[in-house]
Structure 1
């Protein structure tokens, strides 16, 4: 028996038994207004970015007044099986809708299809699927453009020429792969005197892994590398720490993607020369709002872009950059 058939069988059993289900779509308020339960499933739950997505999702629920957000995801962004288990659990619980940030652009497709077969619509956010035919909408940063902004910022910080390193994240993560390819494409197109001396190394999914791998690659190219780009927050923190401990502050220019407190501080002490920023609060908000529009029969755009920006030492104290560098958290 395939996992897909087994899951559908569980759904049939759950419906047939008529068990107690507090997430049922039939819940109403005393005034007769229908209550909706929307599951929001991030890639992970430990990084600052996801806490801000959670805040945005809850803001939408609070504004709507008749929505309960169920927030649950794996602890680590390497746990694809854990995320699959969460999706399956919410399907069995018959939530009204699922907002999902897939850890793998291929591995989650089957489970999104099962959700649709069960009558549960899915909005994808943050990171895309290779097959979006059974999804309502994709709410995310334009990650390719984010990678281009990183390339422009890093190239300008090294004076338009020199050697740089791209430190990748993990295979199957559509959002970071788009950043990586956008970064390489922009350098090739606009900065012929910038040479990418390494673009095939992966940092890993935790700051500790990223620190070890960044240390290794920076030591390998010591005296040759002028700049480095790390494509997400945990990678960025590992790279920042490696630069600091190797005595390369100011010597190797560094651009990251997504902020945390040490990276923000790095903008002020010559450790960090740019941070590409998303709007995670808006992303969580728009994901839940898009789901509710769909559930109420309204038309929803297939692609919703939430914006991308760059904080630098020069602009970091502006009102807009402060809002994005230190977004609301749940």
Structure 2
């Protein structure tokens, strides 16, 4: 019994010693975290979040690169958070999380003005600045829009088709999302541009869901449904490459004209190879950079122009040497 008693006392003492050591170590870890937090707060002036439509999308990665470069220049702690695949509900949840985190500023798309208005209102009520990028949310509490004039980009795409083709044209439109505001504007601008040209007809429109495979499937469906198709217009970044995947597999004697959007590497390569005829150029790097700078100025209490359009143009194969020079300078995607 005596031995058992001393064994029990020894076990209790061991437990106490281990507990004290654990609490000491825990206290050290907490101290390190607190110190790291203090260090971070002294290293950065502001905390901004960029919420893309889709994290791994090459286009949005270019926006993020521009934002990151501007953030580094202005002592901004920048987070890049959003859905892995385009999903409006996940997109809204991420913005709501950023608001709950009491960040200083949010950059995001306004894909559906009605759904985004309450969130932007909530952010502003908490003193968080909001800048929409690439797609605006008109009538909301966002302070600034930085990005393409999407209607104009669609209009010059239509003008390019008119200039580059002759005779009757039957056009299939592949669009990223049928319900997205910026995609609708690009389609409307295109339709308005070709409306007076009696030789050009819109054969049909299909959704790509912002993926190459989706664009390929949409293009193939249009080819099957409209045997007389002579041209394609893709309104989102991955549509062009998806379209040529479909046209290369489809048995057709017609030389199909392809008009794409955005200068991602695969799209530019296809333009250089003659598989794509023209590309509408946006400036995602500039959008990201300018959006951060706008948020910084808003944080300082400066007045900002609410509509800040970045440049838009159409390039053909002969324009590639200049375009490639611009890309090496990091100002083009």
Task: Kindly provide the CA deviation profile for residues 87-140 of structure 1, in whole angstroms up to 9, marking residues without a partner as x.
Answer: 1111111101111123333322211111111111111111011423x1110111
Residue aligning to 1:75: 84
Partner Cα distance (2:113, 2:181) in 1: 6
Residue aligning to 1:209: 214
Partner Cα distance (2:172, 2:56) in 1: 27
Residue aligning to 1:192: 198
Q: SS in structure 1 opposite 2:233?
A: strand
Q: SS in structure 2 opposite 1:315?
A: helix
- In structure 2, relative to structure 1, the CA distance for the partners of 1:329 and 1:228 (3 Å cut) is closer
What are the equivalent positions in structure 2 for 1:125-136 lying under 5 Å apart?
125-132=133-140, 134-136=141-143
- In structure 2, relative to structure 1, the CA distance for the partners of 1:322 and 1:76 (3 Å cut) is farther
Q: SS in structure 2 opposite 1:314?
A: helix
Q: SS in structure 1 opposite 2:292?
A: helix
Partner Cα distance (2:156, 2:264) in 1: 19
1:271 has 2:275 as partner: yes
* CA positional deviation for 1:269: 2.7
Residue aligning to 1:92: 100
Which sections of structure 1, spanning at least 5 residues, go unmatched?
1-19
1:291 has 2:290 as partner: no
Q: SS in structure 2 opposite 1:139?
A: strand
Contact 2:286–2:331 (8 Å) recurs in 1? no
1:157 has 2:164 as partner: yes
Rg larger for = 2
Residue aligning to 2:266: 262
What are the equivalent positions in structure 2 for 1:1-40 lying under 5 Å apart?
28-29=41-42, 35-40=45-50
Task: Kindly provide the CA deviation profile for residues 28-55 of structure 1, in whole angstroms up to 9, marking residues without a partner as x.
Answer: 528xxx7110111111112211111001
* CA positional deviation for 1:192: 2.6
Residue aligning to 2:185: 178
TM-score, structure 2 normalization: 0.83
Partner Cα distance (1:290, 1:258) in 2: 24
Contact 2:66–2:286 (8 Å) recurs in 1? yes
Matched residue pairs, number?
301
What are the equivalent positions in structure 2 for 1:293-312 lying under 5 Å apart?
293-312=297-316
Superposition RMSD in Å: 2.7
- In structure 2, relative to structure 1, the CA distance for the partners of 1:249 and 1:84 (3 Å cut) is farther
Q: SS in structure 2 opposite 1:233?
A: coil
Q: SS in structure 2 opposite 1:106?
A: helix
Partner of residue 119 from structure 1, selected from 120, 123, 127: 127
Residue aligning to 2:58: 48
Partner Cα distance (1:68, 1:210) in 2: 36
Farther-moved stretch of structure 1 (276-285 vs 263-272): 263-272
Partner of residue 143 from structure 1, selected from 142, 145, 150: 150
Partner Cα distance (1:314, 1:196) in 2: 27
TM-score, structure 1 normalization: 0.83
- In structure 2, relative to structure 1, the CA distance for the partners of 1:167 and 1:152 (3 Å cut) is same
Partner of residue 323 from structure 1, selected from 320, 326, 329: 326
Q: SS in structure 2 opposite 1:263?
A: helix
